[in-house]
Structure 1
Amino acid sequence: MTDRLRRIGLAALRFALSGLLLWLLLRQADVTALAGRLAGVDPGWLAAAFALTAVQVVLISWRWAFIMAGLDAAIGTARALRINLAAFFLGQALPTSIAGDVWRVWRLRALGHGVGTAVRGVLVDRTTALLGLVAVVLATGPALLARMPDPAMRGGLLAGLGTGMALLALALAADRLPGRWLSGRLRGVAEFGRTVRGLLARPLTAVPIVGVSALVHLLAGATMWLIARGLDVPVGLVDCLVLMPPIVLVAGMPLSIAGWGLREGAVVAVFGLAGVPVEGALLMSILFGALLLLVSLPGGLFLALGETRTAGAALSPRRAGSDR
């Protein structure tokens, strides 16, 4: 009961944080200007942004299928796409940030793969996504810092990036720590680090995985630019490519509901560096989140119609044995 109350309390806090942040941002905005921009949005640009968002989901699913194949647990891109869409839907619909990952692990287990393999596959996928984000931030870092006149903001960005890279490096090299440190949960971290390094040590696997991860983050910037064009917000493609990576990093923090509120605050703050008004930046972020939700809707159908039934079939001894 205590654990259940704790989960309910955390969910309530996330809802409250998302609502509070959105309310504070709306208070800063001119509601008339917001309504005017929204009424004049160009549906053609939004359709292009939706298509590019869907492309990102396909690329992410291909990356995960590629990783699972490297772990000798092939699932195929089509199945990875179905599972990922359901996971994205759960991530958008439920107040917990790990619901989608739990679903992915459960589906892999239902397909006959071991729990350890399933967990490693999901964690490696998450880690390579982060590696791609770090690569993009490092590549665009000089341009990003040039757009930050405030030394405190630049210092905060560098400190955050440095801390994140240090923690990532520690996780990847955990198995090389002295033996007395490798106890309890660190043993699992060490095994995870060996798995990631094994994939990244081979160019034939490292280049596609990290390359696709970086490309996905660049496409997120291009998607935001398409949304800006649809809203007639004066911001360039290069600005969007440079400014989106830190926003993605902030929105991914497990503090709110599907990043709502955190993402909008980050977009307003960061795109303000490029001269984007509060109303334009806020609408850009809201439409970006709405497109993510719209793309994930087929995942709800897979949950209700397809994946649940196939899960039951996969749990049968005959199917599980054939997948192994």
Structure 2
Amino acid sequence: MLRKIAKMTNRHLTGGVARLLFSVVFLFFILWKVGAENTLSRMSSLQFDKLPVVVVLLLLTISLHTKRWIWMLQSMGYCWGFRDAFRETWIGYFFNQLLPSSVGGDGVRGLRLYRAGIPAGVAARSVVAERVFGLMACVLLAIISVPILLWQAPNAPVTKGVCLVVILSMLGMLFVLRPNRIILKFLPSRIEKEVVVLSKLINKQSFCKMLSISVAMQLTIAGSIGVLGLGLGIEKNPLIIAMLFQPVTLMTLLPVSFAGWGIREGALVAILGVVGVPSIEALPLSLTFGGILLFISLPGWFFYVTVKLVVPCHTLNASPKL
């Protein structure tokens, strides 16, 4: 057993180092192509009166995320106070920036719920299921970016790549909502069971309510990008910049970079370049957004090291058998 744990730990450590190296090398390559001095100069020109708006929008995102997680746990038979849930969500955002994956904080959230006394299955599925709703909202809004790119540059490789990402994401969402029996047969039995349980859990939700709050989350993130673009002096319509950020969010979910760094910068430079935003404007936008997101997540570290684990949620009378 110890050998198995050690082997898994070494594999995860190797994967984390590889993602870190990918992010560092890719970031240095983009900075070399665009020009580090020009990029830093552009970032220093940020209009600080826009910064509070960006911070408020991102804090609103965390609040909406907290509410979505609470609703998910309620549907599984558990209740939770907003303050405790907000703190744990903030901790998850911190670890999203720290761990070698843009969703690494989700694992931390699920683990902390389990250590607080929630059954492992409930803890893990609550996090995964509410994240699926977030992915659905991101895919829906990413669809809006497709006509914009097709209008600006229908034959550009970037446009074709975004279309492919959106189509594959839509197919993935359809599979989760309505698992195909033929495809399920090719999956390991344990994964097959989890997919079926997850599908039932998602479909039993107040679907419109969960999807609506997820769309609102994505819109607050998009709004922060649009406002940040204004603060950096980008002349392009901030609504277009905001809408084109959705496929970038999808690409950062690929498990090849450290917390999405590198992938986000490369994707944003490429996508905004299609609509006429030069790389010297797009790269500072992405780096500044990433820096602000990292700064906002820091209180999560404070909560993690100073506050005890959340008190186990009180079981409701009607608890679904999942």
Paired residue for 1:188?
194
Paired residue for 1:21?
26
Paired residue for 1:237?
238
Paired residue for 2:257?
256
For 2:102 and 2:244, the matched residues in 1 are separated by 24
Paired residue for 1:202?
none
1:266-281 correspondence to structure 2 within 5 Å: 266-281=267-282
What TM-score results when the alignment is normalised by the length of structure 1?
Answer: 0.88
Paired residue for 1:164?
169
- In structure 2, relative to structure 1, the CA distance for the partners of 1:82 and 1:277 (3 Å cut) is same
Paired residue for 1:105?
110
For 2:76 and 2:101, the matched residues in 1 are separated by 27
Paired residue for 2:153?
148
Paired residue for 2:48?
43
Deviation at 1:168?
A: 2.1
| Secondary structure of the structure 1 residue equivalent to 2:8 | helix
Paired residue for 1:4?
9
| Secondary structure of the structure 2 residue equivalent to 1:184 | helix
For 1:35 and 1:99, the matched residues in 2 are separated by 29
- In structure 2, relative to structure 1, the CA distance for the partners of 1:321 and 1:3 (3 Å cut) is closer
The yes-or-no answer on 1:305 pairing with 2:310 is no
1:69-108 correspondence to structure 2 within 5 Å: 69-97=74-102, 99-108=104-113
Deviation at 1:310?
A: 3.4
For 1:97 and 1:129, the matched residues in 2 are separated by 13
Q: Structure 1 stretch 56-65 or stretch 159-168: which is displaced more?
A: 159-168
Structure 2 gap segments, 5+ residues each: 1-5, 317-322
1:86 touches 1:100 (CA, 8 Å); kept in 2? yes
2:40 touches 2:284 (CA, 8 Å); kept in 1? no
Paired residue for 1:34?
39
Paired residue for 2:290?
289
1:118-129 correspondence to structure 2 within 5 Å: 118-129=123-134
For 1:321 and 1:70, the matched residues in 2 are separated by 13
Paired residue for 1:68?
73
2:101 touches 2:253 (CA, 8 Å); kept in 1? no
For 1:96 and 1:163, the matched residues in 2 are separated by 20
> Quick one: percent identity of the two aligned structures?
25
Amino acid aligned to 1:278: S
1:137 touches 1:245 (CA, 8 Å); kept in 2? yes
Amino acid aligned to 1:279: I
Deviation at 1:67?
A: 1.4
For 2:151 and 2:207, the matched residues in 1 are separated by 31
Q: Name segments (4+ residues, structure 1) moved above 4 Å.
A: 175-182, 320-324
What TM-score results when the alignment is normalised by the length of structure 2?
Answer: 0.88
For 1:179 and 1:129, the matched residues in 2 are separated by 23
2:251 touches 2:267 (CA, 8 Å); kept in 1? yes
Deviation at 1:299?
A: 0.5
Deviation at 1:122?
A: 0.7
For 1:179 and 1:96, the matched residues in 2 are separated by 26
Amino acid aligned to 1:224: I
| Secondary structure of the structure 1 residue equivalent to 2:256 | coil
The yes-or-no answer on 1:223 pairing with 2:224 is yes
RMSD of aligned alpha carbons = 2.3
Structure with more helix by fraction: 1
Deviation at 1:71?
A: 1.6
For 2:185 and 2:226, the matched residues in 1 are separated by 50
Per-residue displacement from partner, 1:217-270 (whole Å, max 9, x unpaired)? 222221112111111121212211321110111122221111111000011111
2:112 touches 2:309 (CA, 8 Å); kept in 1? no
For 1:65 and 1:251, the matched residues in 2 are separated by 25
Per-residue displacement from partner, 1:126-182 (whole Å, max 9, x unpaired)? 100011112212344323422333254333322222222222222222386699678
- In structure 2, relative to structure 1, the CA distance for the partners of 1:98 and 1:242 (3 Å cut) is closer
Q: Structure 1 stretch 247-256 or stretch 138-147: which is displaced more?
A: 138-147
For 1:178 and 1:248, the matched residues in 2 are separated by 27
Q: Structure 1 stretch 234-243 or stretch 276-285: which is displaced more?
A: 234-243
2:94 touches 2:294 (CA, 8 Å); kept in 1? yes
For 1:156 and 1:14, the matched residues in 2 are separated by 22
